Structure 1
Amino acid sequence: MSGIDVGNGVLGAVLGVVFATLFQQWTQDVWFRIRRRSAGAVRSLTYREREGSAWSTFSLGPLHTSALVVEGDGDRAIAPESVHVRVGAEEIELPAEMAGWRAEIEAEESRAETTGDRMPVWNGPRYAVEGLDTTRTPLDEQPEVHLRLRPTDYYTFLAAQQLDRRMPDGATPRSRYLDTERPLEAPAFLQCSFAVNIAVVTADHLLAVSRRGDRVRSAPGLWNSSVNEGLARNIDATALGAPDLHAVARRGMREEMALEPHEYTLALLAFVLDVERRQWSAHFYARLKDMTGDQLQSRMSRGVADRWEHQTVEYVPFRSADVTRYLLRPDRIHRWAPLAPALFHLALVHVHGRASVERAEAQAVRRL
């Protein structure tokens, strides 16, 4: 190697050190600013794409539902005296283009009763939801819920559930009467269902999860809340006419799990709407005082009033990570009734706190 080569090498090394000393930090700062501005621009674009979606349905990682939590966050219960229910006198009527659908159902059930080919569906008296409004008390910001109901029946509910059936002009009830941007605005004749859904947790911290029977007309075979009970005018109307939602929940506990009010505590957590099917729910959490999972199973084995509504009951440890993994199991994730996952999440929040629950849910989703 010649002296010139050695000199060039030494000079290059010296210049490299000088350049690194003078410009390395500056280069890093410039690169950092470019990355930060690029990330900010991407977030800005993403945010603008999502603008206008003030109402989002419940989701958990890859699990997406049509359940819209309208009131309540699970953190604190809604007091019974804060729920005001009023029932209008005028019964629901379907528009002319849908009235024939109800007549078809009535004729079909009449034929079933005559021929005996199958058990006909009883046209029970029900309630339709005309509207739900929420306010806050001025001093302590407690929720006040005003629920407005109208009389209807089960055949009208079945006809109104045909939201994507074509009418003579080619429109459907969904396209004509519903606006996805305003999910709380809908005519009462499309909302002929209000139920209570209850997450039942045993004294040894097990969540009861039920699978709906194959013979039920709504969501057959899907995994669901511990207890699901629809409002019935012939059973739940009080002396003042309007149903008491807590009383309906207690009726569901008795009919579906053979449990009496002194055996559990009950908390109303939220009002939730299935925007896809226009079905409303009051979400409850029930904690058994002394009864374990084995004892509850033994109690139910001796008979329950509405055994046919459930074909299976499973018990899951009532811990955030366990419930989340159960919700996201490959054999469950697409087999949930729409309102159940939100119910279980709200129950976890009520017991364990939002921060703890969301941290455990995020960890479970990352590990999928």
Structure 2
Amino acid sequence: MGGIDVANGVAGAVIGMLFAVLFQQPLQDAWFRLRGRSGRALRTLRRRDESSPAWRTFSLGPLQTSALIVEGDGETPIPPETVFVHVLDEEVRLPEDMAPWRDEVAADSERVRAEGRTPVWNGPRYAVESFGISRTALDETPEVHLRLRPTDYYTFLAAQQLDRRLPDGATPRSRYLDPGEPLRAPAFLQCSFAVNVAVVTADDMLVVSRRSDRVRMAPGVWNSSVNEGLSRHIDSSGRSAPDLHAVCRRGMREELSLEPHEYTVDLLAFVLDVERRHWSAHYYARLKELKSTDLQERMSRGVADRWEHQTIDYVPFRPAPVVRYMMREDRVHRWAPLAPALFHLALVHAYSRTLVERVEAQILRRL
């Protein structure tokens, strides 16, 4: 019996070794696959149970921005006659614990002037009191109601210090802003409204500008073709409210030396930079006859605001070249927050959302 037991033990050991060699790895692989599928299923169930915010900022793969498209999809322009701008009389005032910050900006500007350097110009501006959207009764065309208050550039610079500590340890961002309600903010934190324009030449080249290193806000980043802020001094005649299309035309003239008869223009969207509280009207402009070489020659003969740009690129205005350009390693993290959404909307306006999103998905898969 002892010999039989030994023989059985040896046979069992050999069979066990063969089983381990033949089946251990496949069993382990099957177990890992089962565990992976179970984990993915559980994560999917959790996502279904979680709430998702209705408002999301514009993103395109690794290109993440703080631009929130509030109104407009690019395909259908917003008619200028449905945009109503109201200017309130009372000027914006900073809270008592933020008012000294404006004094610091003014004092610093005077010190720079005394040293013979270029001070910050305290231009008269507008702050956004509120932004409202409704629809017309018959065709549901969007109606935009923009309410503004007077302010100035020093107040804007003081209010841009959103993460600076107040005496009680809070910051303006933590005290006055709710990430869950991005459209609600006090007017003194929204002292910026601008127009941003995507300009396309007659030979289908998109104009992309790089901001000068000399500008105070966002120096050196890549930006829209034209960026122009509302000015109380220039854009309001007497007590009348500013006209956004007129501001767009002023920006085209001052930054690219273009006159209104040389292009067509469409208002595509209203967009908010939720990180810095900058509002923008996004426009698409198409040059009628001037090609990219013509525009370069025109600008060589003088531009009113040449100092605002240090570089201008011309990109073929088709979905694939523009998206690849935005995703370039030396561009993807160097954009002004509102520019990528503008170029996306301009492509949608020219080529349709279906085509543009298909091209974007193809390019993202290859990254």
TM-score by length of 2: 0.88
Alignment correspondent of 2:70: 70
Structure 2 distance, partners of 1:187, 1:303, is 40
Change (3 A) 1:292 1:170: same
How far apart, CA to CA, are the structure 2 residues paired with 1:354 and 1:333? 22
Q: How far has the Cα of 1:37 moved from its partner?
A: 9.8
Give the Å deviation of 1:36: 10
Distance in structure 1 (CA, Å) of the matches to 2:300 and 2:48: 53
Amino acid in structure 2 at the alignment position of 1:290? E
1: distance between equivalents of 2:108 and 2:42? 59
Residue of structure 1 in register with 2:60 after alignment:
60
**What is the aligned partner in structure 2 of residue 177 from structure 1?**
176
Give the conservation status (yes or no) of the 8 Å contact 1:272–1:281.
Answer: yes
How far has the Cα of 1:306 moved from its partner?
Answer: 0.1
Task: Give SS of 2:228's match.
Answer: strand
Distance 1:98 1:239 in 2: 31
| Distance of 1:273 and 1:224 partners within structure 2 | 15
Question: How far did 1:52 drift?
Answer: 4.0
Identity %: 70
Cα shift at 1:111:
1.7
1:92 is displaced (CA, Å) by 0.3
CA distance in 2, matches of 1:186, 1:145: 18
Equivalent position amino acid for 1:362 in 2: A
Which residue number corresponds to residue 115 of structure 1?
115
* Kept in 2: contact 1:238–1:244 (CA 8 A): no
Which residue pairs with 2:286 in the alignment? 287
Q: Distance in 1 between matches of 2:49 and 2:68?
A: 22
* Partner SS state of residue 209, structure 2: strand
CA–CA separation in structure 2 for the residues paired with 1:343 and 1:47: 32
CA RMSD of aligned residues (A): 1.6
Q: What is the correspondence of 1:272-351 to structure 2 with a 5 Å cutoff? A: 272-351=271-350
SS in 1 for 2:342: helix
Secondary structure of the residue that 1:97 maps to in structure 2?
coil
- The answer to whether the Cα contact below 8 Å between 1:191 and 1:279 also exists between their aligned partners in 2 is yes
**Could you report, residue by residue, the CA deviation over 1:238-281 in whole angstroms, capped at 9, with x for unpaired residues?**
35521000000000000000000000000000000000000000
The 3-state SS of whatever aligns with 2:275 is coil
- What is the SS of the residue equivalent to 1:107? helix
TM-score, normalised via structure 1 length: 0.88
Show CA shifts across 1:144-177 (max 9, x none): 0000000000000000000000011111000000
Alignment of 1:1-368 (within 5 A): 42-49=43-50, 51-116=51-116, 118-368=117-367
Aligned residue pair count: 333
Residue by residue, what CA displacement relative to the aligned partner does 1:316-352 show, whole Å, maximum 9, x if unpaired? 0111111111111000011000000000000000010
The one-letter amino acid paired with 2:303 is: V
**Equivalent position SS for 1:316:** strand
Shift of 1:44: 3.5
Q: Secondary structure at the match of 1:144?
A: strand
Q: List runs of 5+ in structure 1 lacking aligned partners.
A: 1-34
Q: What secondary structure does 1:96 align onto?
A: coil
Counterpart position of 1:19:
none
User: 1:276 is aligned with what amino acid?
Assistant: E
SS in 1 for 2:361: helix
AA at the equivalent of 2:101: W
Write the distance in 1 (CA, Å) between the matches of 2:178 and 2:284. 31
Greater mean alpha carbon deviation, residues 175-184 or residues 232-241: 232-241
Partners of 2:139 and 2:41 in 1: CA distance: 38
